[in-house]
Structure 1
Amino acid sequence: MTKISIKLGIVFFLIIFSLEIFMFFFLHSALVDSRIEEEFLSLQTRGNAHRDILEKHFDTDTISHVTLMESEANTDVVITDMNGKILGSSVKSYEVQDHINRSDSDIPRGGEVVDNNWKEGKFISTVSPIDLDGKTSGKVFMFQETESIHSLIERINKHFILTGIIAVFLTLIVIIFLSKGLAKPLIKMKEATSKISKGDFTISLPKNRNDELGDLADSISQLASDLNYLKLERNDFLASISHELRTPLTYIKGYADIIHKRNLSNEDRDKYLNIIHEEANRLSDLIKDLFDLAKMDKNSFIIQKKAIDLTDFITKIEQKFSPAFHEKEMDFEVVCPEGVYIMADPIRLEQIIFNLLDNAIKYSPSGGKTILAVSSKKKDVSIKVRDNGKGIPEEDLPYILNRFYRVDKSRTRSLGGTGLGLAIVKELVLAHGGTISVKSKEGIGTEFELVFKGADSIENDTIS
């Protein structure tokens, strides 16, 4: 398997190498063209200088002097009249005759290039006009062998090749360190995800980067933390459900064996049958709650929303629960203003409030007080259930809505329940698009607050 550092290195090298080739080609072409242009300009300037001298003294001595000077330079000069007759030359005439014949009769004052084929020709050449008394009387041809230009370009090529080799070498070094620097955190993340896939969530990734790789490392660390929490929660869930199922089944099996194997009086038989009936009901409630939670997890739990007048709705709940509070010698106070409406499923909303009020009865002492209060704030409606029971420890508050979570770790059965009631309440509230929060202090009491959108802010519809 090819390592990611090698892949990154190859990709970076190809990209940078392609850019270097393009830049070197562009720079080489520009430099060569510039140097060639300088050679032509220099040759043209030299010819114009000779032309200026000859225009002042256009005679045999001056012509000879000019040709003599050029014979000692790396350039050559040929001076002709307007008909192309050579008056003076520092080079053999047959070698340049073709260039002379190619010259136009109408030559601009600054001169012009006669032959610029430096790649294949032996010479490059320019021509400058000699004007006497406002009339062109002769021409000054300047020649330079292309061998010197080829030598110049060869030197440039050598410099470029050497520079290119150094650039490629430095590029390789930079890419090696760069690819390893980029690949190292990716390799660590790959190793971390491999550990996660094997169920090991004890990973440690560096958190000193403020870029996308740092964000990815944080995301992987958070994923490991969440998966570890889910693993622990799943184990707790399995342990809890095993306990909750085993307990009623043990009661049912044990008392059924007693009834089956012993000769009991009618009174004892009825007592044991009642226990079996109670445990069967408890088991049935547990299974029903588990099925409800499973449906919520699959998003197949149907919520039939409609406008609910909370005044009538809360009044009916008060009538249903008042006897239970009265039996435990507790006060039950309801506060609900007129004209408050929400969009909700009445059956599920009743289930939510029933669960909260049932908890208030279970965990409050005789003589306690529970308040069910409704209020509206702008477009939101708040429903609060507040009691003055024994309260919830601060360390348990973040988990009180989790499935099977119990503040009483001893799992006593005196208070009943399956440990799923508040979890179902949370899921039902969220399914309505609402929020649930809880505040509690030990020895003072607990307050659950549900917040829903008012009926005037949601259209009547059915949500599944």
Structure 2
Amino acid sequence: MKKISLKVGFLVFISIFIIDTVLFFFLHNGIIHSRVDEELMSLKARGNNHRDVLEESFKEETLQHIVLMESQSDTDVVITDQHGKVIASSDTIDDEIIQELSKKILSPPRDGMVLEDNWKQEQYLSTVSPFFINAKNNGYVYMFKRTDKVQELISRLNEHFFLAGLLTILFMIITILILSKVLTTPLIKMKEATKKLSRGDFTVTLPRLGNDELGELGQGIQLLAKDLNYIKQERNEFLASISHELRTPLTYIKGYADISRRKNISEEERATYLNIIYEEADRISLLVKDLFDLAKFDKNSFTIMKEKINLSEMLQAIYQKISPAFINRNVQLEMHCSSKIFIDADPVRFEQVLYNLLDNALKYSEAESKTTVEVKKINQNIHIYIKDQGKGIPKEDLPYIFGRFYRVDKSRSRALGGTGLGLAIVKEIIEAHGGTISVESSLNNGTCFEIIIKENKE
């Protein structure tokens, strides 16, 4: 994770560094150009002031006064006639410079003009302002400022920029380190959590990491850990349940097979033991069949062959087959369904669902109670209710009754039979048909299963 921290920090640093460099470059150039422009404007303003004085009083004393003023400042003045001859100067300025500058003067505006602004290569910055005596151009006022003064100013400005750049880089590094730590710490925690998950340790707890994408990822890992832990527990319970369900009949088979092999038992006893062996083998066969069905559901290879079914006719056929078992237990069975209700379903699988639910109702019903199958059409859906008046299911068991090998009877009484997979298979079949199944129950008041499936309108 240090690698990603360094990578993130490096990329952020490079990005900010490039942005800051570009901004510093434009800011630096902008300040320099502004400062040079200010110097030129100041220089031209001084020249215009001298021009105004000369136009009011053009005499020797005025010229000397102007020269004296500029000799005490960091600028120089040169005053020439209209032909370029120097008539006053505050410093010794090379005549060649004056001649070169005079060539640039064609018709300078009264407000003056900039003659030289190249502060990097030239010796002076310069401006010129024409002055007029009696409405005639009588000469020019040249103002000069040595560029080394400007360069010193810019050099100090560069030092400030350099110091500001170093401080910016320092603060940027500190900020990036803090941000990298803030950003990568959740990733490090999630990496450690996923390592624990890969080792099979699902007791992962991640703190709340906020409402952003990282927070959602952390919640996803937490949920994954919870689901994997649940699946692990379910798998362990599943394997334990299979072991229990197989161990008991196998113990019976082995035990009674050993007894049947004895020579000192009667044929009647041997037949009894062989019948028990047959029943237990049949029990194992039923368990394997149920497991095979569930395995096909898990692999999504369980096929449903739907066709249009008259639900009333199916229920009447089921009634004919199962009613003797209800009569034998002295339990009343009633079915109420309109002959005009049709559904799209696999007849074999849907019949398996109804048989399973009715068989459960019979197992947990007392004598002289009643079991009712009622079919209603509600909002274009078919609702099938299988209601008994049996023992009922404790409230704490209701959320789990569709689980594999889950039994309300924790003792796994053999008197009630079954593999504990029936309701799990029922739920899978109903959902494969695009329907839902739910249950309501209370102790000693019976249980009601509700199946909701779409109606066939054709």
Q: TM-score, normalised by structure 2?
A: 0.93
| CA shift for structure 1 position 392 | 1.2
Equivalent residues of 1:99, 1:114 under 8 A apart = no
Equivalent residues of 1:99, 1:115 under 8 A apart = no
How many residue pairs get aligned? The number is 457
| CA shift for structure 1 position 338 | 4.6
Q: Deviations over 1:384-404 (max 9, x none)?
A: 211111111111111111111
| CA shift for structure 1 position 156 | 0.9
Equivalent residues of 2:123, 2:146 under 8 A apart = yes
Q: Which residue of 2 aligns with 1:73?
A: 73
CA distance in 2, matches of 1:341, 1:136: 115
Q: Is structure 2 residue 303 aligned with structure 1 residue 318?
A: no
CA distance in 1, matches of 2:99, 2:376: 108
CA distance in 2, matches of 1:360, 1:335: 17
Q: Deviations over 1:386-438 (max 9, x none)?
A: 11111111111111111111111111111111111111111112222222212
CA distance in 2, matches of 1:110, 1:374: 104
Q: Which residue of 2 aligns with 1:449?
A: 450
Matches within 5 A, 1:144-223: 144-207=145-208, 209-223=210-224
Q: Which residue of 2 aligns with 1:31?
A: 31
Q: Which residue of 2 aligns with 1:43?
A: 43
Q: Is structure 2 residue 273 aligned with structure 1 residue 269?
A: no
| CA shift for structure 1 position 234 | 0.6
- Given the superposition, is the C-alpha separation of residues 346 and 69 from structure 1 closer, same or farther in structure 2, using an over 3 Å criterion? same
Q: Is structure 2 residue 240 aligned with structure 1 residue 239?
A: yes
Letter in 2 for 1:39: E
Q: Which residue of 2 aligns with 1:407?
A: 408
CA distance in 2, matches of 1:390, 1:381: 27
Letter in 1 for 2:90: S
CA distance in 2, matches of 1:137, 1:44: 18
Moved more, 152-161 or 212-221: 212-221
Q: Is structure 2 residue 19 aligned with structure 1 residue 14?
A: no
Letter in 1 for 2:197: I
SS in 2 for 1:261: coil
Q: Which residue of 1 aligns with 2:259?
A: 258
SS in 1 for 2:376: strand
| CA shift for structure 1 position 88 | 2.5
CA distance in 1, matches of 2:392, 2:198: 41
Matches within 5 A, 1:292-307: 292-307=293-308
SS in 2 for 1:389: coil
SS in 1 for 2:10: helix
Letter in 2 for 1:232: Q
**What residue ranges of structure 1 are gaps of 5+ in the alignment?**
none
Q: TM-score, normalised by structure 1?
A: 0.91
Q: Deviations over 1:92-143 (max 9, x none)?
A: 2326225423423122333222111111111111222324555544322221
Q: Which residue of 1 aligns with 2:394?
A: 393
CA distance in 2, matches of 1:306, 1:50: 110
- Given the superposition, is the C-alpha separation of residues 453 and 127 from structure 1 closer, same or farther in structure 2, using an over 3 Å criterion? farther
Q: Which residue of 1 aligns with 2:98?
A: 97
SS in 2 for 1:205: coil
SS in 2 for 1:343: strand
CA distance in 1, matches of 2:297, 2:214: 36
Matches within 5 A, 1:120-135: 120-132=121-133
SS in 1 for 2:20: helix
Q: Deviations over 1:155-193 (max 9, x none)?
A: 111111222222222222222232223322322222222
SS in 2 for 1:455: coil
CA distance in 2, matches of 1:417, 1:25: 84
Matches within 5 A, 1:356-371: 356-371=357-372
- Given the superposition, is the C-alpha separation of residues 95 and 150 from structure 1 closer, same or farther in structure 2, using an over 3 Å criterion? farther
Q: Deviations over 1:320-373 (max 9, x none)?
A: 322222222111122223533333222222111211111111111122211212
Letter in 1 for 2:82: M
Q: Which residue of 1 aligns with 2:84?
A: 84
| CA shift for structure 1 position 378 | 1.6
CA distance in 1, matches of 2:332, 2:49: 120
CA distance in 1, matches of 2:375, 2:32: 88
CA distance in 1, matches of 2:342, 2:62: 116
Moved more, 391-400 or 315-324: 315-324
| CA shift for structure 1 position 263 | 4.4
- Given the superposition, is the C-alpha separation of residues 125 and 419 from structure 1 closer, same or farther in structure 2, using an over 3 Å criterion? same
- Given the superposition, is the C-alpha separation of residues 56 and 455 from structure 1 closer, same or farther in structure 2, using an over 3 Å criterion? farther
Equivalent residues of 1:439, 1:448 under 8 A apart = yes
- Given the superposition, is the C-alpha separation of residues 52 and 223 from structure 1 closer, same or farther in structure 2, using an over 3 Å criterion? same
Q: Deviations over 1:232-273 (max 9, x none)?
A: 111111111111122222222222222223344332232222
Q: Deviations over 1:3-54 (max 9, x none)?
A: 5444433333333333332332222222222212211221122222222222
Equivalent residues of 2:290, 2:421 under 8 A apart = yes
Equivalent residues of 1:81, 1:138 under 8 A apart = yes
SS in 2 for 1:408: coil
Letter in 1 for 2:456: A
Equivalent residues of 2:402, 2:423 under 8 A apart = yes
CA distance in 2, matches of 1:137, 1:353: 122
CA distance in 1, matches of 2:342, 2:100: 104
| CA shift for structure 1 position 382 | 1.7
Moved more, 110-119 or 286-295: 110-119
| CA shift for structure 1 position 83 | 3.2
Moved more, 105-114 or 33-42: 105-114
Equivalent residues of 1:84, 1:100 under 8 A apart = no
- Given the superposition, is the C-alpha separation of residues 315 and 57 from structure 1 closer, same or farther in structure 2, using an over 3 Å criterion? farther
CA distance in 2, matches of 1:401, 1:305: 24
Moved more, 72-81 or 421-430: 72-81
SS in 1 for 2:261: helix
* 4+ residue runs over 6 A deviation: none
CA distance in 1, matches of 2:132, 2:438: 104
Equivalent residues of 2:390, 2:446 under 8 A apart = yes
CA distance in 2, matches of 1:401, 1:217: 31
SS in 1 for 2:252: helix
- Given the superposition, is the C-alpha separation of residues 156 and 330 from structure 1 closer, same or farther in structure 2, using an over 3 Å criterion? same
- Given the superposition, is the C-alpha separation of residues 392 and 128 from structure 1 closer, same or farther in structure 2, using an over 3 Å criterion? same
- Given the superposition, is the C-alpha separation of residues 341 and 57 from structure 1 closer, same or farther in structure 2, using an over 3 Å criterion? farther
Q: Which residue of 2 aligns with 1:110?
A: 111
Identity of aligned residues (%): 54
